[in-house]
Structure 1
Amino acid sequence: MTHKPQSTEREITQRTALTDARGRLNPDAVGWMRRPFVDTSGIDGRRVWGRNKRWEYWCVMTPTHIMAATVSSIDYAGVHEVWVFDRETEESIGHGATVPLARGAVLPASLGDGPASASTRDMSIEIADVDAGATRLRARAPRVRFDVAAETPPGHESLGVVVPWSESRFQYTVKDIARPASGTLWIDDVEYAVPADRSWAVLDHGRGRWPYNVRWNWGAGSGTSGDHVIGIQLGGQWTVGTGSTENAFVLDGRLHKIGEELRWQYDTANYLEPWRITGDDIDLTFEPFYDKVTRTNLGVLQSHTDQCFGAYSGWFRDADGVATEFTGIEGWAEDVHNRW
């Protein structure tokens, strides 16, 4: 069956610098990729300061718990978090820190170039690639700690996208979904397994220079349905008008790019009502069970986030016109408005 191409965006297939010698966006970097080919060493806060955003966010979902860790620098502050959620009791244990000038935050120049870490009096996060194609995630905060390995299966592909607002405002994001995870979580010194066959990790790696006032949607899901390993990666609002999208799905390790902007439907008065995310080649229902609400107002830094955790069902279609149906793919969908 012949089917129209799902994406008219350019696929990047070789190492490319995100910025030019002046620190502006390199137009050759605009596009999407299956591997993290972009060199982001120009986003270092030295040549241009004040609008740089750099972060590593990992989230791990298990049958019993959800764990997340964030290491970030937004030039004038480091914003870090360790969060654990008990799915049975719905107890949420979180610890965040905002560090002036991002002192002590370590972030690699480009993805894969080295570890990321942050440490405060009450919290520490360490993210490092280790042997055998895995990333080790270690975090500690009051009452909780975890040590998890997120594997990269042979042939596994991730979505990288460069989103251009202008030559001075742009973002490179890598969304690495459906990474099998295993390890251990401790809550109040009680040990919980992160079972290797039923736990999934997702990475959100970001490097760029953002507008001050921005809104976005992000949806991600990982799991198995039938005989397939499925990863879902969806974005909205922030890419509109740029010519880039961050929509894709991963089927048994292979990335399938979706080039269209999708329609997001959800109730901002009740985020726990079902969400609908649709397009020509994708039709999803997301049913949340928990809303992680974050409201931050630190003057210049303000954030309004509803990150809903739940499960996706529906179908998507690849460029050959082959549709894959699925149910029970766990993950999240979020609605964010940042002034930062």
Structure 2
Amino acid sequence: MADGTTQRVLRLLTLLQQRRTWTGTELAGELGVTDRCVRRDVGRLRDLGYPVHASQGVGGGYQLGAGKALPPLLLDDDEAIAIAVSLRLAAGGTVAGTGEAALRTLAKLDQVMPPRLRSEVRTLHGATETLPGGVAQADGEVLTTLARACRDAVRVRFGYTSRGGGRQERTVEPVRMVATGRRWYLMAFDVDRDDWRTFRLDRMADVVATTWRVPPREHPDPAAFVQRAVTAAPYRHVVRARVSATAAQVRELLPPQVGAVEPDGDAAVLTAGGDQLDWLAVHLALLPWPVEVLEPDALRDVAAELGRRLARMAR
């Protein structure tokens, strides 16, 4: 196909991916061609393996369907970056059973991706760590902006909505993003509070990377810092308990945002936070393994009272 025809066919494919059904007249108007030219371009797409269906009558038109084999995909920049990042996370083991297939797919995508996009993906991957478990969605533009800021060591400004619903303007020096099973977090040095903080990406708005370069700082381990922040720091009570199971078994049952799990010989030590000790006692009691309370002592009293209440209910 000539260059002009190729560009028009790619534009036609983009239109078919954007909406469920198009009439021939609508497509001709978008492309600036005749209905006959649209029919020829639809035939070219079919020759390339794209299942374009055509129907007559009221409500009819052209529709891109699912085929027996996967044809080449047409992706814009944001879509290509999002897919590549997801594949890198999956290849790293954050999605069970997908590592090998993700690596194969990532290799194919990396081979055809333009150098500028390949650089963006590697920047984002280098600025991200993951805790075990699935990874939640995040705004691609925010991820890319923060990844560049981590790479370039520049300050970032954004509006941030607190747990109480209030909004504040924050200025930080970002270090690393951490993906948990539910959310994405940024670990950064908060300039106004003169301390390390974590920020949920879904609570950020109007994220802007400045040109203010910052010198390197000694910083905590990002993954450990974020895990402590989401499992213990926000809560009134923090409990530690020894569970008669391996750390791997406990982690399989409890996502990282619920509690931190460390191996302790043949057992595991679970650290978790909560605002009510009785609810913490209930959740520990529901674990399918024996549990020994390490701290606080008050949790033992709460567990004993819970046991008495359950015994009375069982009479």
TM-score, scaled to structure 1: 0.21
Structure with the largest fraction of strand: 1
TM-score, scaled to structure 2: 0.22
Higher relative contact order (CA 8 A, sep 6+): 1
Query: Which structure: larger Rg?
Result: 2
